[in-house]
């Protein structure tokens, strides 16, 4: 027999060298090299290869061709959107996942990684102070986790209303009322539109200046919902880091005969693992389901998300239970963890392995230190910026993120100046915030999520932000002066 297993070592060693070179370059390289799609297509694209190329040449060419188009989001001064870095142990474990190449949804196809994921799930519930009865599924990210949780919510709410979705589909089913914050993340709406609930009749709950649900308004809204009702709240609002008042929300829902509370914790659910932050999530254990991302604040490599449902049997039932092909009957019948009962994927890699390795390596104390450090650094940046005349921090900085606006004057002027400053920061490449919206205002969104960010990174980035603020303010004032002069001439 002719086996080719001896070909892996040279290629993997080559990949290792390239990967480490890239990782070690992150503190100094520009975060965005400003390549364009045309040049990238010219380097990477082309016609379908007819003849092959030596594998080592392919790896070398791949590294060369993608270099200019990589965003340094794993670096210490990437503060945009909600993208974290990677703990070294998580990345190392993820490489093993690729090498082992196990299909984890069925225990029989990978007993060891099934038990690793089972253990990681148990540790997560302990870490986040969620019910031990919950089912945990490892997903591609929060979007898939939300999708999975809301399918479970939909089926469970309709079953309680006397409708079996699996048997009857959705034609003729009772309508599900949806109640959510006016600041809910778009992934919730995207999931609803995919699972047949729809967006037309969503009832929104108003939020305060920190983008937190105003709980006094919820009872009246729920009183209008006379059938199955899905309520969605947030742990860690994208624009402010705010946490909804879960205790009060849960109390209002308890009076409803058929309601389900889902908490989108893509970023902020991890605060439950910190003794200094967990008060922000008081009452969150009363929800029926949760989602979170590993590749945001928990610093897992992509892809890594988690869906958690308080009643694991409801999750398993919504995912199809034992409704599998005959060739899988024996596999599903085994009394072991079959991950297919906890998610939509019938084939996937062992995403829980990096989670296991990281919890094992850092322990609760190390994880808490990371979470608390990010919050400390976000507050440090906010304090430095708010002390500059004309820079406004729009929210109370309770977690790892905040929104800021630049300049004085009307909304249009501040929106324009803020957008220009963020654009120039991204072009400069030293640090990378992003833009967002805050109750209709154009803002700079600043997130601290990476385990690699230090106080020195914050201080240097603050200097850069302030420098570009003054430069752009001067430019825009000159432009307005010239425009006024032209109009008067």
Structure tokens at 19: 């990967």
pLDDT at 326: 61
Return the beta strands (E) in 289-413 as ranges: 289-293, 305-309, 391-393, 401-406
Task: Please answer whether residues 81 and 434 qualify as being in contact, where contact means their C-beta atoms are separated by less than 8 angstroms.
Answer: yes
pLDDT at 485: 66
Fold of 369-488: 3.90.1150
Structure tokens at 151: 């399918």
Angle between helices 455-488 and 352-386 (to 10 degrees): 50
Question: What's the angle, vertex CA 310, arms to CA 306 and CA 312, rounded to 5?
Answer: 80
Q: Which of 376, 375, 382, 401 is nearest to 466 (CA)?
A: 382
Structure tokens at 17: 């060298």
Burial, 281: exposed, middle or buried (Cβ in 10 Å; 0-12, 13-18, 19+)? buried
Structure tokens at 467: 């420098």
Handedness of CA 377, 381, 387, 390 (dihedral sign): negative
DSSP label at 322?
T
Handedness of CA 84, 86, 90, 96 (dihedral sign): positive
DSSP letters of 113-178? HHHHHHHHHHHHHHHHT--TT-EEEEESSHHHHHHHHHHHHHHHHHHHTT--HHHH-STTPPPPEE
State the CB neighbour count (10 A cutoff) for residue 109.
15
pTM attached to this predicted model: 0.95
- Identical fold between 91-359 and 369-488: no
State the CB neighbour count (10 A cutoff) for residue 182.
13
Per-residue pLDDT tens digits of the chain, which is 489 residues long: 567 899 999 999 999 999 999 999 999 999 999 999 999 999 999 999 999 999 999 999 999 999 999 999 999 999 999 999 999 999 999 999 999 999 999 898 999 999 999 999 999 999 999 999 899 999 999 999 999 999 999 999 999 999 999 999 999 999 999 999 999 999 999 999 999 998 888 999 999 999 999 999 999 999 999 999 999 999 999 999 999 999 999 999 999 999 999 999 999 999 999 999 999 999 999 999 999 999 999 999 999 999 999 999 999 999 986 565 665 555 555 557 789 989 999 999 999 999 999 999 999 999 999 999 999 999 999 999 999 999 999 999 999 999 999 999 999 999 999 999 999 999 999 999 999 999 999 999 999 999 999 999 999 999 999 999 999 999 998 887 777 666 666
Domain layout of the chain by residue ranges: 7-74, 91-359, 369-488
d(CA 89, CA 299): 10
Fold of 91-359: 3.40.640
pLDDT at 270: 98
d(CA 437, CA 137): 32
pLDDT at 328: 53
d(CA 241, CA 401): 6
First to last CA, the chain: 88
DSSP label at 78?
B
Task: Please answer whether residues 393 and 402 qualify as being in contact, where contact means their C-beta atoms are separated by less than 8 angstroms.
Answer: yes
pLDDT at 327: 52
Q: Which of 311, 299, 235, 321 is nearest to 76 (CA)?
A: 299
pLDDT at 311: 94
d(CA 26, CA 75): 5
pLDDT at 332: 52
pLDDT at 482: 75
DSSP label at 256?
S
pLDDT at 478: 87
Question: What's the angle, vertex CA 268, arms to CA 156 and CA 80, rounded to 5?
Answer: 120
pLDDT at 479: 83
Burial, 327: exposed, middle or buried (Cβ in 10 Å; 0-12, 13-18, 19+)? exposed
d(CA 97, CA 116): 11
Structure tokens at 5: 């297993």
d(CA 414, CA 424): 15
pLDDT at 132: 93
DSSP letters of 208-221? -TTS-B-GGGHHHH
Site of tokens 């914790």: 265
Q: Name the phi and psi angles at 346, rounded to 5.
A: -90, -10
CA within 13 Å, CB half, 93: 26
d(CA 483, CA 450): 43
d(CA 147, CA 137): 12
């Amino acid at each position: 027999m002719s086996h080719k297993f001896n070909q892996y070592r040279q290629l993997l060693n080559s990949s290792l060298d390239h990967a480490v070179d890239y990782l070690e370059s992150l503190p100094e390289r520009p975060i965005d090299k400003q390549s364009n799609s045309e040049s990238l297509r010219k380097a990477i694209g082309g016609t379908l290869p007819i003849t092959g190329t030596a594998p080592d040449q392919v790896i070398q060419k791949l590294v060369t061709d993608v270099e200019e188009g990589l965003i340094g989001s794993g670096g210490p001064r990437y503060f945009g959107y909600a993208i974290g870095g990677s703990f070294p142990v998580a990345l190392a474990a993820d490489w093993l996942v690729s090498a082992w190449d196990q299909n984890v949804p069925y225990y029989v196809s990978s007993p060891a990684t099934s038990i690793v994921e089972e253990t990681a799930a148990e540790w997560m519930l302990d870490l986040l102070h969620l019910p031990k009865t919950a089912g945990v599924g490892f997903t591609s990210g929060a979007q898939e986790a939300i999708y999975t949780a809301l399918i479970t919510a939909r089926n469970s709410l309709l079953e309680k209303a006397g409708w079996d979705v699996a048997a009857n589909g959705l034609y003729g089913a009772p309508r599900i009322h949806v109640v959510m914050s006016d600041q809910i993340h778009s992934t919730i709406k995207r999931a609803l539109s995919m699972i047949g609930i729809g967006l037309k009749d969503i009832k929104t709950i108003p939020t305060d200046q920190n983008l937190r649900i105003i709980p006094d308004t919820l009872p009246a809204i729920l009183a209008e919902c006379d059938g199955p009702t899905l309520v969605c709240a947030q742990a860690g609002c994208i624009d402010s880091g705010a946490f909804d008042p879960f205790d009060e929300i849960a109390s209002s829902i308890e009076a409803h005969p058929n309601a389900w509370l889902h908490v989108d914790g893509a970023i902020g659910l991890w605060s439950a693992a910190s003794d200094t932050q967990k008060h922000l999530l008081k009452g969150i254990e009363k929800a029926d389901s949760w989602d979170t991302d590993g590749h945001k604040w928990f610093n897992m490599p992509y892809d890594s998300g988690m869906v958690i449902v308080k009643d694991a049997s409801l999750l398993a039932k919504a995912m199809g239970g034992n409704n599998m092909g005959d060739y899988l009957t024996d596999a599903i019948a085994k009394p072991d963890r079959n991950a297919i009962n906890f998610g939509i994927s019938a084939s996937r890699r062992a995403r829980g392995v990096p989670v296991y390795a990281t919890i094992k390596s850092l322990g609760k104390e190390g994880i808490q230190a990371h979470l608390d450090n990010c919050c400390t650094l976000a507050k440090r940046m906010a304090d430095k910026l708010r002390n500059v005349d004309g820079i406004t921090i729009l929210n109370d900085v309770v977690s790892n993120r905040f929104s800021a606006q630049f300049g004085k004057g009307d909304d249009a002027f501040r929106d324009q100046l803020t957008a220009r400053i963020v654009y120039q920061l991204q072009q400069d490449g030293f640090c990378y915030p992003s833009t967002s919206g805050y109750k209709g205002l154009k803002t700079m969104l600043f997130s601290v999520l990476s385990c690699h960010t230090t106080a020195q990174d914050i201080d240097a980035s603050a200097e850069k932000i302030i420098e570009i603020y003054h430069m752009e303010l001067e430019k825009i004032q000159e432009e307005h002066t010239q425009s006024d002069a032209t109009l008067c001439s």
